[in-house]
Structure 1
Amino acid sequence: MSLEAIFLSTFVMIGQNRQAAFQQIVHLMEVFPVYERLDEALDRREASAC
């Protein structure tokens, strides 16, 4: 395998990892508000039970 091929494959892998990390961050940003609302609802439920 040539040095050029090694560099190219390395840059491709780095790019894929960045894209996967970006997609994971976007997913967490979409899901976090749902969990935050659920947590608030549970807090209200516990407060009203007391």
Structure 2
Amino acid sequence: MDDKTKTRILGVIERAPQWLRNDLAAKDPAARARAEEALAAMLVDAIGVSQAADD
């Protein structure tokens, strides 16, 4: 993983909305699963943008 990708991933995590942070820490498995899926989608998008910029 290159530095540009790491920077993009850190940016996604830093900008994660409060609802996502709360749901990641929730005891409710459904809320946690939704938050995990949302975060995964955000990370995939950031990595895709990073790879597209390299091409």
TM-score (structure 1 length as normaliser): 0.54
Q: May I ask how many residue pairs the two structures share in their alignment?
A: 29
Determine which structure has greater relative contact order: mean sequence separation of CA pairs < 8 Å that are 6+ residues apart, divided by chain length.
Answer: 2
Q: Name stretches of at least 5 consecutive residues in structure 2 with no aligned partner.
A: 1-25
RMSD of the alignment, in Å?
Answer: 0.7
Q: Name stretches of at least 5 consecutive residues in structure 1 with no aligned partner.
A: 30-50
Give the helix-richer structure, 1 or 2. Answer: 1
1:14 equivalent to 2:40? Answer yes
Q: Which runs of 4+ in 1 moved over 3 A?
A: none
User: Larger C-alpha radius of gyration, 1 or 2?
Assistant: 1
